[in-house]
Amino acid sequence: MYQQVLSQQQQYFSSGVTKSLHWRKQQLKQLQLLLTRHETELLQALKQDLAKPVFEAMLSEINYLHTDIKHCLKQLTRWARPRRVSTGLRTFPSMAFVQPEPYGSVLIISAWNYPLQLALAPLVAVLSAGNCAVLKPSELAPATSAIMARLLPLYLDKEAVVVIEGGVPETTELLKLPFDHIMYTGNGQVGKIVLRAAAEHLTPVTLELGGKSPVYVDSSADLKLTAQRITWGKWLNAGQTCIAPDYILAHKDIAQALAEEIKAQLLQMYGDDPKLSPDYGRIINQRHLQRVQSYLDGIDLYCGGQVDAEQLYFSPTLVLDPPLDSRLMTEEIFGPVLPILSITGFDAAVRFVQKRDKPLSAYLFSNQSSQQQQWIEQISSGSQCINDVLMFMAVSELPFGGVGPSGMGQYSGKAGFEQFSHLKSVLKRPLWPELPVRFAPYADWKRKV
Ligand code: NAD
């Protein structure tokens, strides 16, 4: 059955309809319309799946998508143009250019933590580049999955965009098919499954994975502002953000003060009892709640640790200096627990991060420009912020993606357009004149060239 969906899509793609810029822009405008007209229902679905506060849902899902679409609409004509490159004497006379062209049919498999954004932002890039798409939303956010399955066919070209809901069995079936590109967002274990399946058809793959994103806080940083920014970025969506600070390495002179400051910020942001705060989200399901809870077995807590399983509530939790071999420090936390490790200084922090998997994001809080420069030069990670967390996401033209175990390929803005385009090289020559230097028989003087 899925094979039929793909065959029909590939046939439709061959007709060339999706290649026209008019069609692409029309699809993007239709997405804008969907987001505007159904904002209330979408917010409701996000609330149902993750108890997302309206402000967070608007900021990180709906408005994020509006900004992304607006940017693509503005830039698309320019991105899609053939890009002239200079030619040399060897091909004279000629012209050469790079012609972006869509791949065909792209399978988008998305995750549950930003269930709307992680499904539709890839779709924006895929459609901008002139492809068809089969979208498989995460089954762990069923309300958002259902609303996308209902609304997308009402707004988008049904021949070009199909939503298939489901979990592991459905995704496994889809992965057997010869898509022209696969875009997967989720954990690295499944990332390997996707890559293996893609290898069967030599399908190009974009993998948006996760990992442990570190933060180093130097003694030169303004502690209050640092704590404020980290607290927001960590506990947004109850810590279920792929680029959330996973752990902090704090200069030993300020580690204790930083912990106190973060605790004070938690009180300021979510009050005495965060369970009652309308601004604090919930864990996606019992399995993930238990997973995060199990990381705390045998660990001393600095604050937090309260759980109400029935409400999927897990309070903001701070841990000081957990053992390095604890699961808290060896696995991605992806929840509302933040370990703070005291460290001798900047160089030790750099070595600590370098010894581990290349993270999706790496954050530095420091007032010293030499440290800022070294952090950028010495730490390899998908993205970085200096003196902030997460906020690179607000810059449409910054590519988003991981490196090494945190992913491969990038999207957002032009990077997304290019990720889902083949950049085809074209050399164009007239049929005259010809300088017959390259043709055999190769005279002696040619052999010496
Ligand atoms: P998930 O459980 O929603 O899984 C992601 C997708 O993979 C879903 O659509 C699911 O149906 C499919 N899937 C799951 N198991 C499968 C299998 N065995 N075979 C085929 N398909 C399968 O999401 P998750 O993996 O729990 O997401 C959390 C992880 O994703 C974290 O590691 C997080 O850091 C990462 N993440 C990365 C980004 C990013 O943009 N880089 C964004 C969000 C999450």
- Of 374, 394, 414, the residue at which a domain comes to its end is 394
Q: Could you tell me if 145 and 230 lie in one domain?
A: no
Q: Could you tell me if 184 and 221 lie in one domain?
A: no
Q: Could you tell me if 43 and 11 lie in one domain?
A: yes
Q: Could you tell me if 158 and 281 lie in one domain?
A: no
Residue closest by Cα to atom 17 of ligand 1 = 168
Which of 238-247, 350-359, 429-438 is predicted least confidently? 429-438
| Distance between CA atoms of residues 106 and 205, nearest Å | 10
Is 102 a domain residue? yes
Q: Could you tell me if 115 and 263 lie in one domain?
A: no
> How distant is the alpha carbon of residue 351 from its chain centre?
26
| Distance between CA atoms of residues 435 and 94, nearest Å | 13
Q: What is the pTM of this model?
A: 0.96
Report how many domains make up the chain.
2
Per-residue pLDDT, averaged over 158-168, amounts to 98
Residues near 236 by Cβ (< 8 Å), separated by ≥ 6?
56, 60, 244, 281, 390
> What rounded mean pLDDT belongs to the chain?
97
Burial of residue 72, with CB atoms counted within 10 A of its CB: 0-12 exposed, 13-18 middle, 19 or more buried: buried
Is 414 a domain residue? yes
Is 446 a domain residue? no
Residues near 301 by Cβ (< 8 Å), separated by ≥ 6?
317, 318, 319
Q: Could you tell me if 333 and 349 lie in one domain?
A: yes
Residue 322 lies in domain: 214-394
Share of the chain above pLDDT 90, in %: 95
Is 447 a domain residue? no
Q: Is 197 in the pocket of ligand 1 (CB under 6 A)?
A: no
Provide the pLDDT for residue 449: 60
Q: Could you tell me if 32 and 83 lie in one domain?
A: yes
Contact 209, 402 (CB under 8 A): yes
pLDDT tens digits for range 374-433: 999 999 999 999 999 999 999 999 999 999 999 999 999 999 999 999 999 999 999 988
Q: Could you tell me if 196 and 233 lie in one domain?
A: no
Q: Could you tell me if 56 and 180 lie in one domain?
A: yes
3 state SS of 234: helix
Q: Which atom of ligand 1 is nearest to the CA of 360?
A: 41
Supply the residues annotated as catalytic.
208, 242
Is 29 a domain residue? yes
Per-residue pLDDT, averaged over 68-77, amounts to 98
Q: Could you tell me if 159 and 100 lie in one domain?
A: yes
Provide the pLDDT for residue 271: 97
Is 328 a domain residue? yes
Residue closest by Cα to atom 1 of ligand 1 = 111
CATH of the domain at 372: 3.40.309.10
Q: Is 417 in the pocket of ligand 1 (CB under 6 A)?
A: no
Q: Could you tell me if 218 and 91 lie in one domain?
A: no
Is 431 a domain residue? no
Provide the pLDDT for residue 367: 98
Q: Which atom of ligand 1 is nearest to the CA of 401?
A: 41
CATH of the domain at 420: 3.40.605.10
Residue closest by Cα to atom 34 of ligand 1 = 210
| Distance between CA atoms of residues 156 and 80, nearest Å | 21
Band of pLDDT at residue 448, cut at 50, 70 and 90: low
